[in-house]
């Protein structure tokens, strides 16, 4: 994310900034004006690219899943339109390289939709690569740089590759459409694409029908899209054509050329709309029954005298429907325009500001609560205090709703990440030649946009690891009596205020003995340590431990899992691991739904207060001095039969604190599999807090995650639980 401009009140001469609008073309002037313009481009283009990625993933899925390798033509159209919009957009901003590249992608897609390029052609793989290249170029622009020669060069090379791939495109055999019982004028009105779809459907042996319907001009769009939607449930609308003008002034007639695999009777029953008739044009291959029912041309609508006007594609009164000659897919266009118009794109920083405001309101609310409390305690003001307390409660409720509302806006489905993962896996499949199926569950699970952004890298890393290390080669799998196809499942689900993501593979599993051996060799643990199997497995999250005996380009050299854990910990997340040798490994990630507002436990040592994020607190309890035992010089507590390592927060932070003879509170912290009891003087309750980022030198202080403001107590520091727990555990292991 770009750094926010500091808000110095226009200290510098403003005339220099005023000339941003003198439309400087791309490249040459890489000044602030140019990068600003590009920012607009990137914001818009990013959305298009994301959509393309999603649709491409869907396209690959359909291609693999359907036996005949058939892909929904609407999907191809959609990607085609995305490439087309991107081309136009880039052209508008004068970004020639991007425009050219999008143009070629559009060519491939056009070839696909017209049947000139086969779906198993190498050109289809080029689509993925092309979109990746576009993403790279876009990232560069977002950083404010113009695209350098290397990118332009790459794009150019790529364009040549595409040209080569689609050079062999063959024109479709000219099937004999004349023999169809269709009006010649209707056939002539078909676009190239529609003609291709017609042939394609005939080749697949589907029934062909003509659906004639009459609508009131005033409301025909709605009626037509309802009818088209109904058709799409059972088949495909090959073409929508305005019919010859035998309809009265206020009405308009359309003919829908429909391909379907359901029979005429069922089609007719599905399309039970007023003023609508279904005629079978050509029976599919399944069986040869009765010939087409009637002449498909002007349907005999008894009440209306047949007009002799020549059948023209665009009737005189039909100015709204775009003539079909301009490239297909009119009806879906109407829909997509609608869906865009009720969506608003918002800069995430604006949402951050909103969230900050809500956070401040939360603090003010807490302050009001305190005042109300104080008023109630004094007899003289008790009544007014009670009233204020009531108002405070009402405010509290509304504020919670507001908070939920704002949080809700920040939520995005995990689907986006899943698309990225499937792209990674597709590429790995190609590069490593392993057969792996990737399955997603719970793509609609929502998370804070910021978390989703930060989650991409760790998740890609885990999936890559599974692909590269955990899954065996097809030969190994066959030898082990397994399906040669490996399987990786990524499943997300919401549990209360957390989202749990499980990455599961059915690979070789992890060998605890090998990990332990390596960990001992690296000095991470002592030979004498008594570690549970789970503890041993979790050692892979330690820095410098990789179980892969070979270094590969895919998973690198074992820097990774520790970074994964740290990245997740920064978001307040945890990662855990379970494995059965020979059966597979499951990595479980638990994340808070949002980072914006957290519940914190306020603790105190003498007069110093700290906030501990509640999501890492397992429980709290009082401990009397005599309950604290010692083991190897460290304080431990017997917690329901399990030893719990204790640490005094005061000692950790070098604050003069209570001696061992005083009663203490223990806060049991959990980070993944690790537990630590933190001893504090007092617990001061829970509070909703907004963590403020620390921007100065404090950033580097270990153990402090940030600061927050409490209503009546000024600033208070938030403890970085993962750092504290990690440090204490490491020190114990080092000892």
Contacts for 166-173: CB closer than 8 Å, 24+ residues apart: 166/107, 166/108, 166/111, 166/116, 166/117, 166/121, 166/123, 169/111, 169/116, 169/117, 170/116, 171/116, 172/114, 172/115, 172/116, 172/196, 172/199
Q: Applying CB under 8 A, does 653 fall inside the site for other proteins?
A: yes
496: left (phi over 0), alpha (psi -120 to 50) or beta: left
In this chain, which of 18, 150, 695, 735 binds other proteins, going by CB under 8 A?
695
Considering only 10-18, 27-35, 115-123, 258-266, which stretch makes contact with other proteins by CB under 8 A?
A: 10-18
Q: Applying CB under 8 A, does 9 fall inside the site for other proteins?
A: yes
Smallest distance, other proteins to C-beta of residue 42, A:
21
User: Cβ closer to other proteins: 211 or 716?
Assistant: 716
Q: Applying CB under 8 A, does 23 fall inside the site for other proteins?
A: no
The rounded distance, in Å, linking the Cα atoms of 404 and 448 is 12
The rounded distance, in Å, linking the Cα atoms of 125 and 59 is 11
In this chain, which of 6, 287, 303, 308 binds other proteins, going by CB under 8 A?
6
Smallest distance, other proteins to C-beta of residue 5, A:
8
Q: Among candidates 615, 411, 591, which has minimal Cα distance to 499?
A: 591
Smallest distance, other proteins to C-beta of residue 596, A:
14
User: Cβ closer to other proteins: 292 or 706?
Assistant: 706
- Site residues (CB under 8 A) for other proteins, limited to 698-727: 698, 700-704, 706-709, 713-717
Smallest distance, other proteins to C-beta of residue 692, A:
4
Across the beta sheet with 642-648, what order do the strands follow? 617-623, 664-671, 674-680, 642-648, 634-639, 628-631
Token output for 211: 């659906």
User: Cβ closer to other proteins: 340 or 698?
Assistant: 698
- Site residues (CB under 8 A) for other proteins, limited to 125-144: none
Smallest distance, other proteins to C-beta of residue 660, A:
20
- Site residues (CB under 8 A) for other proteins, limited to 73-102: none
Considering only 130-138, 230-238, 409-417, 646-654, which stretch makes contact with other proteins by CB under 8 A?
A: 646-654
Considering only 192-200, 336-344, 439-447, 688-696, which stretch makes contact with other proteins by CB under 8 A?
A: 688-696
In this chain, which of 272, 316, 696, 735 binds other proteins, going by CB under 8 A?
696
What is the total count of residues that contact other proteins (CB under 8 A)?
A: 41
DSSP letter at 537 equals H
Q: Applying CB under 8 A, does 16 fall inside the site for other proteins?
A: no
Rg of the chain on CA atoms, in Å:
33
Q: Applying CB under 8 A, does 612 fall inside the site for other proteins?
A: no
Helix, strand and coil percent figures for the chain, each rounded to 5 = 45, 20, 30
Smallest distance, other proteins to C-beta of residue 610, A:
9
For the chain, the first-to-last Cα distance in angstroms comes to 42
Q: Applying CB under 8 A, does 654 fall inside the site for other proteins?
A: yes
- Site residues (CB under 8 A) for other proteins, limited to 327-366: 356, 359-360, 363
Q: Applying CB under 8 A, does 8 fall inside the site for other proteins?
A: yes
Q: How far is CA 106 from the centre of its chain?
A: 24
**Sign of the C-alpha dihedral, residues 430, 434, 437, 440?**
negative
Alpha-carbon distances of 325 from 173, 206, 332, 382, 570, rounded to whole Å: 21, 24, 15, 79, 55
Which residues, including other chains, have CB under 8 Å from residue 151's CB and lie 6 or more apart?
97, 133, 136, 137, 140
In this chain, which of 456, 621, 655, 729 binds other proteins, going by CB under 8 A?
655
Q: Applying CB under 8 A, does 682 fall inside the site for other proteins?
A: no
SS3 621: strand
User: Cβ closer to other proteins: 202 or 716?
Assistant: 716
Q: Which residue ranges make up the site for other proteins (CB under 8 A)?
A: 3-13, 356, 359-360, 363, 608-609, 652-655, 692, 694-698, 700-704, 706-709, 713-717
């Amino acid at each position: 994310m770009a750094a926010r401009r500091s808000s110095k009140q226009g200290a510098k001469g403003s005339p220099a900034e005023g000339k941003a609008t003198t439309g400087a073309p791309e490249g040459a002037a890489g000044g602030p004006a140019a990068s600003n313009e590009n920012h607009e481009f990137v914001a818009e283009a990013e959305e298009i690219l994301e959509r393309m990625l999603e649709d491409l993933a869907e396209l690959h899925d359909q291609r693999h899943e359907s036996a005949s390798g058939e892909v929904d033509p609407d999907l191809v159209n959609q990607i085609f339109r995305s490439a087309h919009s991107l081309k136009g957009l880039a052209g508008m901003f004068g970004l020639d390289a991007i425009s050219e590249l999008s143009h070629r992608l559009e060519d491939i897609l056009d070839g696909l939709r017209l049947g000139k390029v086969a779906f198993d052609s190498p050109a289809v793989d080029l689509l993925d690569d092309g979109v990746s290249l576009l993403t790279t170029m876009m990232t560069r622009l977002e950083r404010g740089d113009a695209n350098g020669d290397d990118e332009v060069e790459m794009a150019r090379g790529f364009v040549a590759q595409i040209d080569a791939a689609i050079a062999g495109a063959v024109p479709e055999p000219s099937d004999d459409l004349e023999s169809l019982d269709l009006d010649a004028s209707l056939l002539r009105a078909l676009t190239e694409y529609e003609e291709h779809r017609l042939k394609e459907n005939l080749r697949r042996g589907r029934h062909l029908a003509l659906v004639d319907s009459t609508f009131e001009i005033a409301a025909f769009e709605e009626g037509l899209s309802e009818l088209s939607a109904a058709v799409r449930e059972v088949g495909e609308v090959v073409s929508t054509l305005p019919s010859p003008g035998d309809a009265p002034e206020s009405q308009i007639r359309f003919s829908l050329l429909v391909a379907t695999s359901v029979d005429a009777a069922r089609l007719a029953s599905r399309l039970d709309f007023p003023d609508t008739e279904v005629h079978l044009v050509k029976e599919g291959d399944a069986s040869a029954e009765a010939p087409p029912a009637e002449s498909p041309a002007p349907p005999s609508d008894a009440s209306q005298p047949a007009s002799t006007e020549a059948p023209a594609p665009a009737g005189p009164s039909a100015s709204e429907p775009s003539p079909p000659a301009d490239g297909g897919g009119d009806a879906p266009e109407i829909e997509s325009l609608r869906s865009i118009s009720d969506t608003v794109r918002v800069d995430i920083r604006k949402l951050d500001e909103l969230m900050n405001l809500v956070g401040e309101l939360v603090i003010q609310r807490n302050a009001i609560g305190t005042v109300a409390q104080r008023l109630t305690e004094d007899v003289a003001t008790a009544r007014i205090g009670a009233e204020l307390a009531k108002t405070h409660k009402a405010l509290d409720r509304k504020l919670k709703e507001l908070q939920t509302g704002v949080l809700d806006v920040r939520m995005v489905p995990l689907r986006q990440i899943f698309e990225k993962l499937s792209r990674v896996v597709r590429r790995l499949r190609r590069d490593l030649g392993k057969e792996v199926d990737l399955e997603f569950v719970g793509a609609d699970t929502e998370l804070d946009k910021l978390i989703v952004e930060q989650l991409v890298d760790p998740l890609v890393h885990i999936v890559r690891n599974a692909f590269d290390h955990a899954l065996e080669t097809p030969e190994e799998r066959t030898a082990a009596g397994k399906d040669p196809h490996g399987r990786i499942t990524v499943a997300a689900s919401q549990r209360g205020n957390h989202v749990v993501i499980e990455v599961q593979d059915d690979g070789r599993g992890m060998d605890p003995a090998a990990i332990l051996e390596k960990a001992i060799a690296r000095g991470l643990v002592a030979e004498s340590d008594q570690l549970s199997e789970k503890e041993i497995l979790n050692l892979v999250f330690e820095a410098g431990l990789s179980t892969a005996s070979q270094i590969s380009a895919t998973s690198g050299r074992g820097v990774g899992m520790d970074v994964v854990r740290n990245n997740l910990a920064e978001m307040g997340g945890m990662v855990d691991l379970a494995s059965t040798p020979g059966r597979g490994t499951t990595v479980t990630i638990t994340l808070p739904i949002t980072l914006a507002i957290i519940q914190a436990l306020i603790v105190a040592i003498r007069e110093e207060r700290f906030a501990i994020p509640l999501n890492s607190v397992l429980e709290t309890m009082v401990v009397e001095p005599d309950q604290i035992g010692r083991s190897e010089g460290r304080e431990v507590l017997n917690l329901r039969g399990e030893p719990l390592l204790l640490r005094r927060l005061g000692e950790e932070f070098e604050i003069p604190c209570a001696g061992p003879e005083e009663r203490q509170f223990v806060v049991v912290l959990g980070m993944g599999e690790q537990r630590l009891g933190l001893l504090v003087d007092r617990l001061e309750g829970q509070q909703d807090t907004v963590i403020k980022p620390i921007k100065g030198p404090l950033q580097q202080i270990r153990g402090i995650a940030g600061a927050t403001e409490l209503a009546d107590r000024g600033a208070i520091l938030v403890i970085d639980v993962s750092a504290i727990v990690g440090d204490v555990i490491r020190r114990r292991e080092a000892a």
